[in-house]
Amino acid sequence: MDVSTPAGAPWLIVGLGNPGPEYAMNRHNVGFMVVDLLAGRIGGKFKRAGKAQVLEGRIGPVGPASRRVILAKPMSFMNLSGGPVNALRDFYKVPPANVVAVHDELDIDYGVLRLKLGGGDNGHNGLKSMTKAMGADYHRVRFGIGRPPGRMQVADFVLKDFSSSERKELDYFTDRAADSVECLVTEGLERAQSAYNS
């Protein structure tokens, strides 16, 4: 367990995205997709809590090695994610280092994962909002979506659905991202980085 993640404290795992069916398969919503996968593994249904959907449960092997987690999907739109996330963090008494943001990342090739603690927002509006609300010392699971082709604007690219060729591998990549979150929470950042940073 990393020194920065207090034993016994719950984890808040936040999928970043935009609410509403019209955004569901957008590249910008891959954080929601990964958190939905984790919810399926835990069992149970998301419930509304303030400006977020939340699901409480445990990750990891049965017994003392399992970790209490709160899965969350802010319902405030991407650029306002910080307020709902910080409210949940306060309510559940989660230290910043036990917050994990799962999000799309333009500067990484499609499907590639990078896990890290802290850092900048790299122009990502969800991270920008979270950092403004609670500081930068939280974990990130960065899911590569690659750069837009040709002259396509970044905003148009992230708000488009994954392409048909990308969708062929999307289930595999999101499943691997969910695995990486479980590894991070149960075994620590270094172990998760060595297993999943590709």
Q: Which residues are catalytic?
A: 28
187 CB burial (10 A radius; 0-12, 13-18, 19+): middle
| CB-based contact 170:32 (threshold 8 Å) | no
Angle at alpha carbon of residue 181, lines to 81 and 17, rounded to 5°: 25
User: Assign residue 196 a region: left if phi > 0, alpha if psi is -120 to 50, beta otherwise?
Assistant: alpha
Q: How far apart are CA 78 and CA 40, in angstroms?
A: 23
